[in-house]
Amino acid sequence: MILKPGTGTNPYYARKHGHEIPNTLDKVLAGLCSDYQPTGATNSVDAAEMLWKGERIEFAHGSSETPAVTSPKLSYVPSAETFGRRPSLSTPASTPVSTPAPQPEIGLADLPQLLAPGQGWSAQDSQRQLQALQNCPADSARGVISSAFDQSVRLGDKAFAKSGWGAALMTGTLVTGVAAVVTAFTNPGLALGLASGAMAGACGSVLLVADARKDSNNSAILSDMGRRLDARTWGQEYDRHGSHGNYLADFKPGR
């Protein structure tokens, strides 16, 4: 009999042969003396202690062997022994997935109706968005939406640039005005020229700022119009929120 490292119960041997391996000490002593009664301990250390104390485990039938382990024999399947048996599940019949009905295609004639007042948008907001709609010619609703977004981005960039130039021009105007005042008593001619330049700069700055506001207003109208139409093409609503709506003025196409 081959003994595994460590004496005592070997579950793999017991599972295969139906009984446990006796501990080494009992096995050796039983081999030396035919009248030796095993201690019944599961390991040699406990067996030595029991021999020292004169203890024995009384077997029901007086057998010299350790009691048999009654375990049902199963077909040896390593994967089932390690991980357990995988229950067989009946594959349910595939349930057909119901696809939502496609949204009806929106045509150019439907766009004005989609911009009607509602969802927080006032009648004035809708009227100005309709003005922007006329500035987005295209062959389809998707083309109108794309044109609105492109124009909105372009006008927003122009408004930002014009605001920057207007601020710079206003700063130069202030510096020129101060210089005109300083030189008024020492050099009236130079002061008059500086004053004229300051006035021209101020007018130019005002025009740039006004043009930037117009571009920014047009950009906001186009953006909201495009977002409302895009949402409606997907069967949704784009509610008015935040700073949207209440535009500064009507939509005025650029020259």
* pLDDT value at residue 181: 85
pTM here is 0.55
* pLDDT value at residue 22: 63
Number of helical H runs and strand E runs in the chain? 8, 0
3-class secondary-structure state, position 199: helix
* pLDDT value at residue 190: 85
Rounded to whole angstroms, the Cα distance separating 234 from 236 reads 6
CA angle (152 as vertex; 167, 166 as ends), nearest 5: 10
Sequence letter at residue 24: T
* pLDDT value at residue 131: 93
* pLDDT value at residue 31: 74
Instruction: List per-block mean pLDDT (blocks of 10 residues) for the chain, which spans 255 residues.
Output: 49 55 74 75 79 68 45 46 52 60 71 90 93 91 93 93 89 88 84 85 88 92 93 88 88 78
Structure tokens at 191: 């002061």
* pLDDT value at residue 37: 75
Could you tell me if residue 159 is left (phi over 0), alpha (psi between -120 and 50 degrees) or otherwise beta?
Answer: alpha
